[in-house]
Structure formats: C-alpha cells, structure tokens
Amino acid sequence: MMSLAAALQRNASCKPDKVAIICGDTHITYAEFDVLASKVANGLIAKGVLPGDKVALSCPNLPFFPIIYYGIQKAGAVVVPLNVLLKEREIKYHLEDSRAKFFFCFEGTDVLPMGEAGIAAFNQVDHCLDMVVMTADQNQHSFNGQPSFSAFIKECDPQCDYLPRRADDTAVILYTSGTTGLPKGAELTQGNMVCNALVSENLMAAQADDVQLVTLPLFHSFGQTVNMNASVFAGATMVLVPRFEPATVLEMIAEHKVTVFAGVPTMYIALNHCPNELDVSSLRLAISGGSSMPKEVIHVFEERFNVPILEGYGLSETSPVACFNHLDQERIPGSVGQPIQGVEIRLADVKGEPVACGEEGEVIIRGHNIMKGYLNRPEENENAIRDGWFFTGDIGRFDEKGNLYIVDRVKDLIIRGGFNVYPREIEEVFMTHPAVAMVAVIGIPDQEYGEEIKAYVVLKDGADADEQVLYEWGKAQFATFKYPRSVEIRQQLPMSATGKILKKDLKAEVRMMQSAK
C-alpha cells in the first residue's frame, strides 16, 4: 500500500525541483526534502532504531519537523510528536509511556531544558534514550553536551529507500490533551494516516500548484494531516509559520500567494480584527476545525476576505478528519457537514442505541480513520471502541439532509436545576454582541442548582461594555434557566498551543478559589 514515506519519495522522483517547504528565507525542494529525510532515516538505523520503534519529536513549525517526521517514516519507525509547551514531568511521562528510543528536540523552545531533565530522569529507569538537538546554527556540532541535528546527519548516506510498512502498522502516536486524566497515546496506523491525507486532499480539491499556509502546530493532528501530509500527497508547497500572529499570516498570504489556510476559530477571530490593506486574493479556501466555529465569525470572515470557510470535525483518535463540509454541496454555517468518504457516523443514546433524526446523541464513528487503540490501555480501548465504533464523548444531531451539528462535549454539559444547558449555544449568542471578541462558558458548582452558568468574556479593542451590561444583555437573550448568572471580563483566555480555549483551566481556577474559602 501507499505509505507516508512513499508519498515523499514519489514526489522527489516526479517533481524534484518543485518547492516543498518555505520557512522565512529557506526554500526546500522535494528532492532536497527527500535527501534530508533519508539522512535522518539512515542516522536512526545506524543508531539501532528498528521498524516499529518509537521516536519522539518536539519542534515548532520549522523545516526540521517535516524532515524528521518523514525521516522517521522512511526508517519504518513511529513518530511520537510532543507539544512544545510540555514541562519536565510531562515530557518524562510521554517518553516513558511511549517507550521512545530516540528524541529530537528543538533548542529554541522551553522543551529543551525540560527535555534534558526529562531524559536524565528517564535514563534512570530500564533503558537509555538518545537525544539530538535541532539548533538554528547549522555549523554547531553539539548543544549542552547533546549532538546537534547537523552533526547527526553529516556523515549519513543521502539515499534511503523507505522500509515497506503494512496498513495496520502504527505510523504515529498522538497524545490526547488529557482533559479526563493522564494523556493517552492514540496509535494511528499507516492506513489511518494515508487515507485521511488522501481524503483531506480531495476535500480541498488540492492541486500541485497549491500553497498551504501552515500555522497550526504540526505536532497536532489537524496541522499534521490537513496541512503537512495532504500537501505532500498533492505535491504542493507548504509555508511554515512557527508562531501565529494575524498580521504575519496576512503578510505571508500576500507574499507567497497562499491558496489554502487552515486554522481554529480563535485564529479566525484574530484575523477578523486585524487591519489589512494587503492583496490576499490568492486565497481560495479556508478550513476550520479543532472546536466549533461561531456563526458570526464565519459571516464576518467570508464577507471580509471573500473566501469560503469549510468547517470540519474530528479528533486525534480519528486521524483526525471524520466529517466535513464539501465544496460541491450546500454549506450550512454551524454544521460540520457530512461524514467523509469511507466513514460512518451515528448518534447514540446512553445505552448505545441509535437516536432519531433531529434528536441529540453521542457521536460514534466507524471507518478507515479510527485509531488502532490507545497505547497500553486495553481497558480504556474496550470502553472507547465497541464493535468497531469509536465513542467520541461529543453530543451531536443530524438534520434531514444528513448534516451533522456538534452541540457540545458531554463533559462540558451544564446541568442547572435539572435542565441541560449547552455552553456552545450561549457562546454562539454572546459572539453576536458588538463588544464581544471571545467568550467561554462553563458550569460552576452551586449549592441550590447543582451548577450555575458563568461566562468569561474578552472584549474587542475599544469596546466599553462592562460586566453588568453583558449580564443584562444575556438575561434578555435566554430562557431563565440558561442565561449566565456571572459574567467576568478578561484580557485573555487560557489557550492550548493549537488555539483551543482551555475550559479545564477555567474550571481549575474555580475549584482553587472555592477550596481557598
């Protein structure tokens, strides 16, 4: 079967001079991309890394990431991407849980000192872990005693045919965010990743002359599949942006004639509020995922940039794309579209039984995109995957045309006085207020009602609304059991590296405040 590594090698042969990667002043062709990945593969093989061994990779959106990612694939090993914001304890956990044999770590992130400390602790257990540091200085041969990337590949053979892999061989282990406990490693196979990249390529109507702007973190499933892997399969060009800044994104679109942009809702909110006089007319398509997109944000972006936003839905465990709005079908703002080709989606009640059209139920998914399982978690696998169906923990509903709407996460559901309240509905309405730039709604403990509703709001620049004004406005918009009894204005909201609002951090703040009373 086609593998991730085979896609790169094919393009290196068919279009060697085509630019594959742009980052700042660096331009790397497909031939150069393949040579560098081959050197990584040969270096790993020389170090004793075998097919199926785990190799950790922590790096922002720099050329190192795709080069090492595909080098690991060519060696037949398994990529374990790590969030660049992890701390020592978390790094140690990920390395131990995955039993990684090798660790590539970028010098310019907080991960490096944490990685070194994590490795020191890890090497005290039952086997050692080799580490290579990626440095900005290409002539540097070591960094804090660790070999540099340039030194690692310097003597390596530039030619390496990829090692054949089966469809059910693990290609990548993506760790979940750990919102319900310790992070779990989702084992994604070659079949999962290849099929999802090909489907993503088709959904975007991707072409070889496309230029994708990659500002989503590549260690995350969304950026990895929809940006990087889909670009490689299409033989397109990716422009890497290490850090999302709305003004920089607009500059990159104008400079490199970017045709496809993928982001999460908070990125679109920032772009909507960013002044722009540049020519960004090359942009033909925008994609949103990661969390639900408020309808108002879609409306403003499409009106301002004259570009359609296709909203999709998926999880790390589904490689990630499971459902998507399609270019050749009616696009309904607020809906994540229809299941992708080869994937089934149903809605189930608490007993796992199907629900009727229009009714709400837990989203369950079956198809080529479902992970092999959580690494070393047999009991959790039995609960998460039943008869081939993956139970997502998300609440959704279908309309009569088969369009899926994600209502909310099961864990985010607020039960106030026996009534179910979905935070997303409240957030959607609050986003229509002219002073509101961003909002997050959570349930907080309440002695009388069990839970009470609280809204955290970030105002638009120059807006003068206060908490009482927003409270009164919300009270007028919702039924008595739904409106937020508490509104708190903040300068910013806690976010993950992928731009998701971290409601778990807001809930943790509430718990700490209440325990301190």
Q: What is the CATH number of the domain that holds 11?
A: 3.40.50.980
52 part of a folded domain? yes
| Residue where one domain finishes, among candidates 355, 388, 409 | 409
Within this chain, do residues 225 and 336 fall inside the same structural domain, yes or no?
yes
Which pLDDT score, from 0 to 100, does residue 516 have?
75
122 part of a folded domain? yes
182 part of a folded domain? no
- The answer to whether residues 499 and 269 touch, using CB atoms and an 8 Å cutoff, is no
Which pLDDT score, from 0 to 100, does residue 122 have?
60
My answer on whether omega of the bond before 294 falls inside 30° of 0, hence cis, is no
346 part of a folded domain? yes
Within this chain, do residues 254 and 396 fall inside the same structural domain, yes or no?
yes
Within this chain, do residues 401 and 434 fall inside the same structural domain, yes or no?
no
Which pLDDT score, from 0 to 100, does residue 119 have?
66
Q: What is the sign of the dihedral through the CA atoms of 192, 193, 198 and 203?
A: positive
Residue 175 Cα distances to 120, 148, 186, angstroms:
22, 26, 6
Which pLDDT score, from 0 to 100, does residue 108 have?
66
Which pLDDT score, from 0 to 100, does residue 180 have?
47
Within this chain, do residues 224 and 366 fall inside the same structural domain, yes or no?
yes
Q: What is the sign of the dihedral through the CA atoms of 292, 427, 285 and 502?
A: negative
- The answer to whether residues 91 and 49 touch, using CB atoms and an 8 Å cutoff, is no
| Residue where one domain finishes, among candidates 409, 436, 454 | 409
Per-residue DSSP letters for 450-482? EEEEEEEEEEPTT----HHHHHHHHHHHS-TTT
Per-residue DSSP letters for 365-432? EEETTS-SEETT-HHHHHHHEETTEEEEEEEEEE-TTS-EEEEEEGGG-EEETTEEE-HHHHHHHHTT
Instruction: Give me the half-sphere count of Cα atoms (radius 13 Å) on the Cβ side of residue 425.
Output: 15
Read off φ and ψ for residue 389, nearest 5 degrees: -95, 130
Which pLDDT score, from 0 to 100, does residue 121 have?
58
248 part of a folded domain? yes
| Residue where one domain finishes, among candidates 409, 438, 459 | 409
Domain at 440, CATH number: 3.30.300.30
Within this chain, do residues 251 and 335 fall inside the same structural domain, yes or no?
yes
Q: How many domains does the chain have?
A: 3
For residue 351, with 0-12 CB atoms within 10 Å meaning exposed, 13-18 middle and 19 or more buried, which class applies?
exposed
Within this chain, do residues 331 and 211 fall inside the same structural domain, yes or no?
yes
Within this chain, do residues 395 and 425 fall inside the same structural domain, yes or no?
no
| Encoded tokens for 458 | 């970030």
Within this chain, do residues 207 and 157 fall inside the same structural domain, yes or no?
no
Q: How far apart are CA 86 and CA 84, in angstroms?
A: 6
Which pLDDT score, from 0 to 100, does residue 328 have?
86
Within this chain, do residues 309 and 403 fall inside the same structural domain, yes or no?
yes
Which pLDDT score, from 0 to 100, does residue 133 have?
83
pLDDT in tens for each of the 517 residues of the chain? 679 999 999 999 999 999 999 999 999 999 999 999 999 999 999 999 999 999 999 999 999 999 999 999 999 999 999 988 777 777 888 888 999 999 998 886 566 666 666 666 565 445 567 888 888 776 777 776 678 899 999 999 999 999 999 999 999 999 986 544 578 999 999 999 999 999 999 999 999 999 999 999 999 999 999 999 999 999 999 999 999 999 999 999 999 999 999 998 889 989 999 999 999 999 999 999 877 788 899 999 999 999 999 999 999 999 999 999 998 888 888 899 999 999 999 999 988 889 999 999 999 999 999 999 999 999 999 999 999 999 998 999 999 999 999 987 777 878 787 677 878 888 988 999 999 999 999 999 887 777 899 999 999 999 989 999 999 999 989 878 889 999 999 999 998 877 889 998 998 898 888 877 6
183 part of a folded domain? no
Within this chain, do residues 109 and 27 fall inside the same structural domain, yes or no?
yes
Q: How far apart are CA 289 and CA 316, in angstroms?
A: 12
| Encoded tokens for 168 | 């059910």
Within this chain, do residues 401 and 472 fall inside the same structural domain, yes or no?
no
Within this chain, do residues 125 and 199 fall inside the same structural domain, yes or no?
no
Instruction: Give me the half-sphere count of Cα atoms (radius 13 Å) on the Cβ side of residue 421.
Output: 27
Domain at 393, CATH number: 3.40.50.12780
Number of H helices, E strands in the chain: 16, 28
pTM for the predicted model, two decimal places? 0.84
Which pLDDT score, from 0 to 100, does residue 120 have?
64
Which pLDDT score, from 0 to 100, does residue 177 have?
62
Domain holding 439, by residue range, is 413-516
174 part of a folded domain? no
The alpha helices in 103-146, defined as continuous H runs, are 111-122
185 part of a folded domain? no
